[in-house]
Amino acid sequence: MKASTEPGGDKNRYRGVVINFMPLKGYGFIRAENGKQIFVHYSDIRGKAFRTLISGEEVEFNIQIGSKGPQAVDVVRLDPPREEDEPPLLNTGKTW
């Protein structure tokens, strides 16, 4: 389950696949390589702009135990899509 030192450089990082992510709610779940589901919040995704994940994409992360169980932190998208390939958000009038 532990990932290599790429790209984060930390030997204690894990890899997984995004099960689902709800951008309007700001959270979702990752399936770690051991099969366990890990909660992920948008604030724990590395990025400068709007931070989101797409179902099926591979990610690398650390695990932190929170009050509700394991949570992915310092999440890195391993092969992020180009901005124009990302699914559009619904026009809700919300700003992030």
pLDDT at 81 over 90: no
Confidence (pLDDT) at 49? 74
Q: Where are the beta strands (DSSP E) in the chain?
A: 14-22, 27-32, 37-41, 58-66, 69-77
Per-residue pLDDT of 19-55, as tens digits, reads 999 999 999 999 999 999 999 999 999 987 778 999 9
**Domain total for the chain?**
1
3, part of any domain: no
91, part of any domain: no
- Name the token pair of 13: 């990082």
Give mean pLDDT, residues 2-20.
Answer: 70
Alpha-carbon 85 to chain mean position: 17
Confidence (pLDDT) at 82? 65
**Length, in residues, of the chain:** 96
CATH of the domain at 63: 2.40.50.140
Q: Which domain holds residue 65?
A: 14-80
